[in-house]
Structure 1
Amino acid sequence: MVNEQKLATEDGEEIFIREWSEVEAPIGIVQIVHGMNEHSGRYAEFAAKLNQAGFVVIADDHRGFGLTAKSEAELGHIEPSKGLEMMLQDQEIVKHYIKQKFPDLPYFIFAHSMGSFITRVFITRHSADGVILAGSGLQPTLLLALATKLSQQFVKKHSQRKNELLNKLAFWGFNHTYHEKHPFSWLSRDPLVQEAFAKDPLCGPIVGTSGFFDTLFRAILAAQIKENVESVPNGIPILLLSGTEDPVGHYGKDIPKLAVRLSEAGVQDVTYKLYEGARHELIHEIGKETVMLDIIDWMEQKRSER
């Protein structure tokens, strides 16, 4: 069973959250930070596995996504004047709710894709008992700077307009290495996942606005700049997960590099794992049970080390 409610934000808006907390004797809590063009409802199966292992799960629908968006027109839009800072504050509000309700439980974050970039900035300000970053990566700084400059030009004209050009640029080449012709082949090898994503009105059909892409590019840039990497608390355990066929992580190349960057910045407990043949959405992939068990095992280990 899932409990649903809304939390008030710093700027007078509301964010929708789901809470899976039917656990007799909880041993920890997981805050899920979802990716682009999706929503917290897609994590129900993962949440059920975590509940079985004793972990309470709470996840929000980000601004412009899921049931936080108040209308179809709002789907895929984030006001650039608020942008990344408001998204970070929203995650802080969710964490505050968690800490008020479950003050003594070990606190973990699971963040996927866009959510992983937001979380990489979030943990420069807030610690946790463990952070799992899935489907993350490293993007060329010059390319990001150019993309941000381009998005700013569009924002000046109309921040709320759906931007097909930036959408194509953001996903350029993601499907080129796969034999399937489905537009979401890059997400998972499972054709049922591909089709479900395409048909979900809160996922596949969404085209981001200029304001959203401006926020996304800024989030990725902020996640990668040296001063932010060096601001991650040294004692925070981090688990990096990616598939060898995930285009966001440049097919397994980025995660080892990110692990090195974090270690060189002083983070003492960084682990990474690559899943052979897996694509972008590890918990929706063929072999997802292994991924989920790996995450649970890691959290149980970190919980015992507190």
Structure 2
Amino acid sequence: MQAVAGKDYIEAWLPGVDGTQFYTRTYPATFPKAILLFVHGFAEHVGRYEHAHVKYPTRGITVFAFDLRGYGRTALNQEKKSKDSAYGKTNWHVQMRDIEWFGKYLEKENPGVPLFLMGHSAGGGQVLAYFTRPSAPPSPEATRLFKAVICSSPCILLTSPKPRIIRWVGGKLASLVPYQLIPADVGLENLSRNTAANQAILKDPYIKQMGSLRGLDDMLTGGEKLLTEDYKRWPKELPILFIHGTGDNITSYKATKEFYDRIDCTGKKLSLYEGAYHEIVQETDGLGDRLVDECISWVESHLPEKKPEATEPAKL
């Protein structure tokens, strides 16, 4: 790994399960009591979360984040990316393998340190699917890597779903030309009420407001399956925190509540942010700080209890 001068993170390019080079960032705690593996959303990259991720190490939590296959530097850095990497060249099958690979990597590199998994938006949908898919990937043992889960604004259903005929045509085309790119503009004004953060996207060389037919179809179809059947396979003993803004015009907070209501889980929590938009972490009026604090507190509350150290019996 290579430290970045003047920054609070360590960046590295790591070969994934199939040798694909991934851009990664680690925000290290000096003595980590937990590690949070973060999965970002559609068409973005982990650099957008730097202002939030730097706060976790101050509370003893290391954050590990990677630019997903098909996005960010993993797909667009011409110097470091793999030869076969391209923008939008991704699907849920390989994304599940990637989450599993990085989970196992972190477990190996940090023996004994509890792992937590967090996903935002499309990454939130992937995280939910990771634990509820009817077949591998991930492998059964890989679903037991994590102590608890956090989903912010997960993509289960869109707030304003596309007409079914368009979805049907898109699905058919995805089987013929899976990685054909098409426009996928969610509307910058819908992301957050932070105008500066929204406008920065227009100048960001690692963001394209486009997606591949396969990537989009997997994201939307997979989200629907979470509600219709996959929710039944949520591990009962796996705690999960859902965070969603009621003003989200991109992903439906009502669908998140429905998934929350349907799963049989002894440690679930739903936290609705009244009026907040899709990217709560970018929001104004302290909402972003509130989200980070809630996530940190959730991790802290699900750390394994430390066993009292054995003491020598008193000598008489």
Hey, what does 2:89 align to over in structure 1?
A: 78
Aligned residues: 280
Q: What is the CA–CA distance in structure 1 between the aligned matches of 2:170 and 2:104, rounded to whole Å?
A: 32
Offset at 1:272? Answer: 0.6
1:256 aligns with 2:262: no
**Pick from 153, 158, 169: which aligns with 2:172?**
153
Hey, what does 2:279 align to over in structure 1?
A: 281
Long gaps (5+) in structure 2: 1-7, 79-83, 133-139, 307-316
Offset at 1:133? Answer: 0.4
Superposition CA RMSD, Å = 2.5
2:169 aligned partner, one-letter code:
L
Confirm or deny: 8 A CA contact 2:156 2:224 kept in the other structure. no
Long gaps (5+) in structure 1: 172-182
Offset at 1:42? Answer: 1.4
Hey, what does 1:175 align to over in structure 2?
A: none
Offset at 1:188? Answer: 0.6
Q: What is the CA–CA distance in structure 1 between the aligned matches of 2:256 and 2:76, rounded to whole Å?
A: 36
Hey, what does 1:109 align to over in structure 2?
A: 117
Q: What is the CA–CA distance in structure 2 between the aligned matches of 1:215 and 1:137, rounded to whole Å?
A: 11
Q: What is the CA–CA distance in structure 1 between the aligned matches of 2:164 and 2:173, rounded to whole Å?
A: 15
Offset at 1:47? Answer: 1.4
Confirm or deny: 8 A CA contact 2:190 2:250 kept in the other structure. no
| 1:5-44 map, 5 Å | 5-21=12-28, 23-44=29-50
Offset at 1:24? Answer: 1.9
Hey, what does 1:136 align to over in structure 2?
A: 154
* Closer, same or farther: CA 8–184 of 1 in aligned 2, 3 Å: same
Confirm or deny: 8 A CA contact 2:181 2:212 kept in the other structure. yes
1:259 aligned partner, one-letter code:
Y
Offset at 1:104? Answer: 1.1
Question: Cα deviations across residues 173-228 of structure 1 (Å, max 9, x unaligned)?
Answer: xxxxxxxxxx411111111111112221222x3311223223323432343341x2
Secondary structure at the residue paired with 1:7? strand
1:230 aligns with 2:232: yes
Confirm or deny: 8 A CA contact 1:123 1:233 kept in the other structure. yes
Offset at 1:77? Answer: 1.4
* Closer, same or farther: CA 253–218 of 1 in aligned 2, 3 Å: closer
Confirm or deny: 8 A CA contact 1:187 1:279 kept in the other structure. yes
TM-score w.r.t. the length of structure 1 is 0.83
**Pick from 202, 206, 212: which aligns with 1:209?**
212
Confirm or deny: 8 A CA contact 1:76 1:206 kept in the other structure. no
* Closer, same or farther: CA 298–305 of 1 in aligned 2, 3 Å: farther
**Pick from 89, 97, 103: which aligns with 2:105?**
97
Confirm or deny: 8 A CA contact 2:227 2:259 kept in the other structure. no
* Closer, same or farther: CA 121–30 of 1 in aligned 2, 3 Å: same
Q: What is the CA–CA distance in structure 1 between the aligned matches of 2:31 and 2:157, rounded to whole Å?
A: 42
Q: What is the CA–CA distance in structure 2 between the aligned matches of 1:120 and 1:146, rounded to whole Å?
A: 26
Hey, what does 1:241 align to over in structure 2?
A: 243
Q: What is the CA–CA distance in structure 2 between the aligned matches of 1:52 and 1:192, rounded to whole Å?
A: 26
Offset at 1:145? Answer: 6.8
Bigger CA radius of gyration: 2
Moved over 6 A (4+): 142-145
* Closer, same or farther: CA 245–305 of 1 in aligned 2, 3 Å: farther
